Amino acid sequence: MKRVHVTGASGFIGRAVVARLREAGHDVTGSDLAAAHGVLPLDLRDRAAVVAMIRDLAPDIVVHGGAISGAMLATGDPALMFDINVAGTLNVAEAMRQARVARLVFLSPNAVYAEAPTRAPVGEEAPLGAGDAYGASKLAAEAILRAYAASHGIATIALRISSVFGAGRVTPYLISQTLDAARTGAAIEVTDTRSNMRQFVHVSDAARAVCLAVATTTVGFTPVNINGGTYLSEEQVVRLLLAEMPSPVLSVIADRGRDDDGCVGPLDISRAAALLGYAPSVDIAEALAALAQPAVTAGAPTS
């Protein structure tokens, strides 16, 4: 059993992580911007508050998931993205240094990888270079943690996680938008295999990867790719989702000018298998069917 503190504990992934860690027998505390049942209020931009909380809780390990968690959020305020994702991460690392907390699991995205000319599998040593404020903020956060690992001995596992889906996600994305269109009869536009390939991972697999990382001892800064084991076009995802539902008007095009999973090939998760013992356990077709089921009932949740 370890004392684990989770930042971003009220978020989509954070809630699943807290539940999974508690099921594994860990003593878990959580914080988020707003107080909630069992979750302490914490603004990651307030260094004094972060330092005080980590000092008082004295965890064995921190899971840092607190962030603006996607390129679709705060698009009109990139400075806020950097304040929370970069300065917030610096404050967590500094609080850990002062409290002598030596282990960290960081939730990073595959958005840190540079655009690739081919769809070859992407290992953790692939070139980095984010193309938007979200990816850049996470890449900068990784640089901070790499420095704290090298200079101050904070052993960090950075889980580079692909797009996460599942019940309880509230930010709009391909799956919820498709279900809304199916329920209302609206048209939907998707890309085929010519662009914007998707590699979704179910939230339960993402949380399990975090739990495995908490149980794994490393030194230095170690990036680890996590995905759901599939690499599908938007069209393929949507057709799986709508397999047993009346299909909305579906327009299939080559490019929408947006790459939600980046212009990269499928993440190579062999390091996750070797180091963490991770392998995806959720079948995407079954999980999508489960998400689609309530959408046939008027007024049912769609994400």
**Same domain as 134, residue 192:** no
Domain match, 9 and 97 both: yes
Whose tokens are 């599998």? That residue is 121
> Which has the higher per-residue pLDDT, 261 or 97?
97
What's residue 73's pLDDT? Answer: 65
CATH number at 214 reads 3.40.50.720
Mean pLDDT score, 118-142: 94
Query: Do 39 and 156 share a domain, yes or no?
Result: yes
What rounded mean pLDDT belongs to the chain?
A: 93
Residue 71 confidence (pLDDT): 61
Residue 147: pLDDT over 50: yes
Q: What band does 76 get if pLDDT is binned at 50, 70 and 90? A: confident
Which pLDDT value is given to residue 166? 97
Lowest average pLDDT, out of 59-68, 80-89, 170-179, 280-289, goes to 170-179
Q: Quick one: 177 and 110 in the same domain?
A: no
Residue 22 within a domain: yes
Same domain, residue pair 119 and 212: yes
pLDDT of residue 299: 43
Q: For residues 76 and 79, what is the distance between their CA atoms, to the nearest angstrom? A: 9
Q: Quick check: 156 pLDDT over 70?
A: yes
Quote the distance between the C-alpha of residue 39 and its chain's center. 20
For residue 272, being part of any structural domain is answered with: no
Q: Could you tell me the pTM of the whole model?
A: 0.94
Q: Answer yes or no: do 150 and 241 share one domain.
A: no
- 186 and 94: one domain? no
pLDDT digits (tens, 9 = 90+) for 176-219: 999 998 888 888 899 999 999 999 999 999 999 999 999 999 99
Same domain, 9 and 156: yes
The verdict on 77 and 191 lying in the same domain is no
Residue 133 predicted with pLDDT over 50:
yes
Distance (Å, rounded) from C-alpha 39 to C-alpha 2?
18
Percent of the chain with pLDDT over 70: 94
Query: Residues 238, 209: one domain?
Result: no
User: DSSP characters for the chain?
Assistant: --EEEEETTTSHHHHHHHHHHHHTT-EEEEEESS-BTTEEE--TT-HHHHHHHHHHH--SEEEE--S---TTSSTT-HHHHHIIIIIHHHHHHHHHHHHT--EEEEEEEGGGBPP-SS---B-TTSPB--SSHHHHHHHHHHHHHHHHHHHH--EEEEEEE--EESTT--S--HHHHHHHHHHHT--EEEE-TTS--B--EEHHHHHHHHHHHHT----SEEEEEE--S--B-HHHHHHHHTTTS----EEEES--S--TT-S---B--HHIIIII-------HHHHHHHHHGGGGSTT----
Per-residue pLDDT averaged across 63-78, rounded? Answer: 81
Mean pLDDT of 276-280: 98
Q: How far apart are the first and last CA of the chain?
A: 34
Q: What is the mean pLDDT of residues 45-71?
A: 94
How many domains, the chain?
A: 2
**CATH number for 173:** 3.90.25
Average pLDDT over residues 27-47: 96
Neighbours of 46 (CB within 10 A): 14
Say if 270 falls within a structural domain.
no
Q: Residue 257 is part of which domain span?
A: 166-198+229-262+282-296
Q: Comparing 55-59, 131-135, 213-217, 237-241, which segment has the lowest mean pLDDT? A: 131-135
My answer on whether 220 and 100 are in the same domain is: yes
Are 124 and 183 members of one domain? no
Choose the weakest-confidence range: 27-31, 93-97, 130-134. Answer: 130-134
| Residue 302 confidence (pLDDT) | 44
The average pLDDT across 221-231 equals 98
